A = this chain, B = another copy of it.
Amino acid sequence: MSSSVHVAGVGSTTFGSHPGRSLQSLAVEAARAALADSNVPAHRISFLFVGNFVGGIMVGQELLGPIVAANLGLSNVAAVKVEAACASSSAAVRIGHDLIRAQAEEAVLVVGVERMTGVPREALTAAMTAAIDQDSEANAGLTFPGFWGLIMARHMHLYGTTREQVAAVTVKNRRFGATNPLAQFQKSVSLEEVMTSAPVADPIRRFDCCPATDGAAAVVLTNEALARKCGSPSVRVAASVLLNGPVRIADYREITIHDGTINAARRAYEKAGVGPEDVDVAELHDCFSIAEIVDSEDLGFFPKGEGGANLTQKPSGRNTKVVINPSGGLLSKGHPTGATGCGQLFEIAMQLRRRHPNQVPQARLGLTHNGGGTAAAVTVHILEALR
């Protein structure tokens, strides 16, 4: 016996800089918005998951489950923090989904939250490095810009991907972000600006990187009966997958191929009974511009090595109809690490409800892809519009 699982409501703060705001205050804002959107009474929530990555390191706050629950007035609930680096809140959604699907819970609230701005860049880089194995590569000096710099150089070398194609990802996502009121960057950039921005980790430049972001996003998941009782169920979770992948460079069979993403996507497509060609809109984990190219290939939207050429085309000019990161993605909407997974689900839910500022016409099937570490923890969610 299993129940279908519904996204009954979503909520979000703006993504950007929120000086003076605590994790709990941001989380509560997003959670209240999601509860109001869902029409599910707070007392029906039996499990609260808070997705958060570096709350301990950045602001010295843990125990966010019970603290956020208390601030929401939820008593006698199970409340925990789930951490899977930048995939923390979508990993929590996977657990909540499974509990509802198996009829262990009726309604679950998942809130993702992070505070990242207002600290020196070195402190932020050090905090992010908590997602690299301290027993090996982190102690050797590896950082995420460094790792993705290696991946970008190798992708260009192996497949002939050009510097312009990679920069075009940022240009596209900045253009989308400019018309998303939740986005951190509301201003377009030119190809020239991306390619001449300050070097970070060769060949990666500043505008190839997502920003440091504060923000929170929340999702209310329910079974079908409650979704129906509280309103008209409009968004169904067709697949919710979390899988691990390699955690060290030495363990990748090839650094431009991310098995965490490939395996999670394969399982998600199987569960949903669809293929990548059926996906209308996707929010994927473009922490760096090259990441959107790698991910779009590993998700099956384009053959390996052809992501660069394809991403610069309009959907009408290629075999795949998917529109990628119309939110602006991590590059432009921003990347409050622990909140990003729920933020992506917020975006796709809005697309499927036809209420998105950058609406993909006729969007019926949406996908999110969220990665912790470099595809060390990968979630893929497939959402379906019901009407």
User: Which A positions have Cβ atoms within 8 angstroms of B?
Assistant: 1, 22, 24-25, 53-57, 59-67, 69-70, 74-85, 88, 91-92, 94-95, 98-99, 101-105, 126, 129-135, 138, 242-248, 251, 263, 372-373, 376-377
Contact = CB atoms under 8 A, between A and B. Distances in A.
A63 B83 contact: yes
A376 B66 CA distance: 6
Contact of A131 (B63, B84, B88): B63
A133 B64 CA distance: 9
29 contacts: A1-B1, A22-B134, A56-B56, A57-B60, A60-B129, A60-B130, A61-B130, A62-B83, A62-B131, A63-B131, A63-B373, A63-B377, A64-B83, A65-B244, A65-B377, A66-B244, A70-B248, A76-B244, A78-B91, A78-B244, A79-B377, A80-B83, A80-B88, A80-B377, A82-B83, A95-B99, A98-B104, A98-B105, A102-B102
B53 A62 contact: yes
A101 B103 CA distance: 10
Q: Which of A61, A99, A131 has the most CB of B within 10 A?
A: A61
**Copies of this chain assembled into the complex:** 2
Contacts of A24: 133, 135
Query: Which are the 8 A-B pairs with shortest beta-carbon distances?
Result: A102-B102, A56-B56, A102-B104, A62-B130, A66-B376, A81-B83, A78-B242, A63-B131
Given A99-B98, A134-B60, A247-B67, A84 B84 contact: no
Contact of A80 (B91, B102, B135, B247): B91
A37 to B, nearest CB: 23
A76 B306 CA distance: 26
Given A66-B84, A135-B22, A77 B377 contact: no
A54 B62 contact: yes
B134 A77 contact: no
Contacts of A77: 243-244
A63 to B, nearest CB: 4
Q: Which of A67, A130, A135, A138 has the most CB of B within 10 A?
A: A67
B80 A95 contact: yes
A318 to B, nearest CB: 30
Contact of A57 (B56, B81, B91, B372): B56
B70 A247 contact: yes
Contacts of A22: 134-135
Contacts of A376: 63, 66-67, 70
A81 B242 CA distance: 13
Q: Which of A25, A61, A62, A83 has the most CB of B within 10 A?
A: A62
Contacts of A247: 63, 66-67, 70
Contacts of A59: 134
A368 B362 CA distance: 53
Contacts of A67: 133, 247, 376
B78 A81 contact: no
A244 B54 contact: no
A85 B104 contact: no
B244 A69 contact: yes
A102 B100 CA distance: 9
Nearest to A64: B83
Contacts of A56: 54-57, 130
A305 to B, nearest CB: 25
A55 to B, nearest CB: 8
Nearest to A101: B104
A246 B75 CA distance: 8
